Amino acid sequence: MANSVRRGQAHLDKSETCLGCGETSFTKDYARAERICTSCGLVVSERSADRGPEWRAFTAEERNARARTGAPMRLSMADKGLSTTIDWRNKDASGRALKSNTRAAIYRMRKWHIRTRVHGSQHRNLGIAMSEMERLSSQLGIPREARETAALIYRKALAKRLVRGRSIEAVVAASIYLACRIHRIPRRLDEVVAEAKIDRKQMGQAVRLVIYQVNVNIPLASANDLIPRLSSDLGLEGRTVRKAAEIVKNARKQRITIGKDPGGIAGAALYIAGILEEDRRTQREIAKVSRVTEVTIRNRYKELVRSLGISFPRS
DNA sequence: AAGACGAAAGTGGTTGA
DNA sequence: TCAACAACTTTCGTCTT
């Protein structure tokens, strides 16, 4: 996996660039305070959305009457939460039985209503996939925003018929994993694999396939993103964390981070920061939380010290 | 004794002929 | 299809604190 880094994609750090596809144009949805990329549909939400009623309300009824929003529309629901159904009881709205000619008309409507509701198999697939996605992402603690992106990726994969002949599980897991990458939430492939009911190999294949076929640009996993998480696992102090972030930043400037396991870089940066700030952790401790070996920490450590010209105060 | 160091051999995946 | 390859891991002996 680390090797794929060598392909050398450009980084998309500018905030006005879509994390999903690198496009720069967004549609603004003011009502929901979101910007939606015109090319790939990635939803970037902004703060301060007020979906409440716009007049004051003093009683519960008033509040209900004045609220202007219903349940939010979500991509992570199979029918985007907008389905209508005509139920099978032949009663009208007030509960009276229908006359026979109306009944026949309703019957025909029902038939077409159901038939035209998305193409059967895909809809069924989505239903299964979305509940699986919900399960997996809550297990992994994925935030809502990333779940929506994952759902979008899955829909695209499904539309491209990538799911045929593959397990739904694998494609769902891949979508979630990629959504995490897009939103810069550090989740490793292994962590997702562990929760999903699939093996690494299937997962890897699915991930590669989706990257290839679906039009999403995936920002590379970077050591920066791992620092906060690893630091809290290690219980490091704020100044140490800041120091480590600075080291990673400099390392990236020197371009010595490309092609290396971000875990190793982050780990080594934390190790060095620990020594400099006298908030030290052993290589073993760091290696454990960053999921690389001590040897890798050592190698990165040496490289960082050498190319950044870090010297340690003798104590 | 724990921690750090580094050599050597092995692994899984990519690349290029 | 296959060999070369970079990055990383495992293992292990040695040095340092």
Q: What percent of chain A has pLDDT over 70?
A: 62
- Nucleotide B8 C1' to residue A305 CA (A): 24
Backbone φ and ψ of A178, nearest 5°: -70, -35
pLDDT value for A274: 94
Q: What percent of chain A has pLDDT over 90?
A: 26
Confidence of residue A5 (pLDDT cuts 50, 70, 90): very low
- Nucleotide B3 C1' to residue A138 CA (A): 39
- Nucleotide B7 C1' to residue A58 CA (A): 77
Mean pLDDT for the stretch of residues A182-202: 83
pLDDT value for A273: 95
DSSP secondary structure code for residue A3 in this structure: G
Contact flag, residue A260 CB and nucleic strand C, below 7 A? yes
Nucleotide nearest A286, from its CA to each C1': B3
Nucleic strand B contacts from chain A, 205-234, CB < 7 Å: 208
* Closest residue (Cα, C1') to C10: A293
pTM: 0.67
Contact flag, residue A84 CB and nucleic strand C, below 7 A? no
Cα A76 from Cα A144, distance rounded (Å): 9
Cα A226 from Cα A231, distance rounded (Å): 8
Q: Which of A86-95, A126-135, A160-169 has the lowest mean pLDDT?
A: A86-95
| Angle, CA of A203, A209 and A212, to the nearest 5° | 140
pLDDT at A267 over 80: yes
Q: Which nucleotides of strand B are protein-proximal, with an atom < 7 A from a CB?
A: 2-8, 12-15
Cα distances (angstroms) measured from residue A186 to each of A25, A117, A163, A170: 27, 37, 25, 19
pLDDT at A183 over 80: yes
pLDDT value for A124: 83
Contact flag, residue A295 CB and nucleic strand C, below 7 A? yes
Q: Which of A34-38, A94-98, A165-169, A177-181 tops mean pLDDT? A: A177-181
- Nucleotide B4 C1' to residue A283 CA (A): 8
pLDDT value for A2: 36
Confidence of residue A288 (pLDDT cuts 50, 70, 90): very high
Confidence of residue A203 (pLDDT cuts 50, 70, 90): confident
Sheet with A34-37, strands from edge to edge, namely A26-29, A34-37, A43-45
Contacts by residues A26-29 (CB-CB < 8 Å, ≥ 24 positions apart): none
- Nucleotide B15 C1' to residue A5 CA (A): 13
Confidence of residue A50 (pLDDT cuts 50, 70, 90): very low
Does A20 or A207 have the greater pLDDT score?
A: A207
pLDDT value for A287: 94
Average pLDDT, chain A: 75
Contact flag, residue A1 CB and nucleic strand C, below 7 A? no
Q: Which nucleotides of strand C are protein-proximal, with an atom < 7 A from a CB?
A: 6-11
Confidence of residue A23 (pLDDT cuts 50, 70, 90): low
Mean pLDDT for the stretch of residues A188-194: 84
pLDDT value for A222: 82
- Nucleotide C3 C1' to residue A3 CA (A): 18
Q: Which of A57-61, A249-253, A269-273 has the lowest mean pLDDT?
A: A57-61
